[in-house]
Structures are given as structure tokens and as C-alpha cells.
Amino acid sequence: MRAFQVSLNGKRLCVAGIGQDGVLTGIVDHVARRGRNELSLHVGGLISPTEEHVTWRNVRLKVGDIVSLKIVEADSVDSPRSRYRSGSKQAERNQKAFARAVAKKFGWKLLTRPHTSP
């Protein structure tokens, strides 16, 4: 299968692969605004048939770090460190956190309804 062999400063982090049906990502990002100045690396993806989100690594980076991502063919890959399905409790927590962040950004107040039994 097609896979990503990922290293940081010459040290192997993971070999990540999704298989025949999915999305594999290696993302390096820099966030600089409102007092934040963060660098990070995310290796993850989506297994499409099960709608399962997977993560191999989330790593904070610093200036001078060397990230290497080599595209390889591999018979086997490392197991993801985390996984969750789109309809899972984790997905719901992620959606709620996103909604709170957007509300905070725009100065909105979120109103919630109490849970009632049928």
C-alpha cells in the first residue's frame, strides 16, 4: 500500500497508511496571530468505508526542526495512535469544541437546551 514514512530531525516517527479507500495526510502548520506562534505536525487521515478518522502523530515543532515525509510502498504500517468514527462521542466533542471556538471568535453566546427524557 502507499504510505508516508515520517521523520523529525532524523528520528523515525511513524509509517502511516490508509489502504485502498481513504485519505492520508501529513500537515505542517504555523499559526501566528493574537499572541500565538505555534508550529505543529499532524499525520492522520480518514478510512472512507468506515468513516473512521485516524491519527498517527501530533507533534509540536520548533524553528530549525527538519520534517521528512517520504512516500513509500509498504506491506504493513504502524497502528494509528487514535481513531474515532464520524458519529462517535469523540466526533460530537470535536464538533462542540469547534462551535464554541467559532462562537468565541465572533462574540456569540451559545444557548443550550436541557436534556429531557421522552
Q: DSSP letters along the chain, please? A: -EEEEEEETTEEEEEE---SSEEEEEEEEEEEETTEEEEEEEEEEEEGGGTEEEEEEEEEE-TT--EEEEEEE-S--PPPSEEEETTSHHHHHHHHHHHHHHHHHHT-----PPP---
More confident residue, 87 or 74: 74
Average pLDDT over residues 12-33: 95
The residue ranges of every structural domain in the chain are 2-85
Query: pLDDT tens-digit profile of 30-62?
Result: 999 888 889 999 999 999 988 899 999 999 999
Question: What is the model's pLDDT at position 89?
Answer: 75
| pLDDT given for residue 99 in this prediction | 87
pTM: 0.70
In percent, the amount of the chain with pLDDT more than 70 equals 93
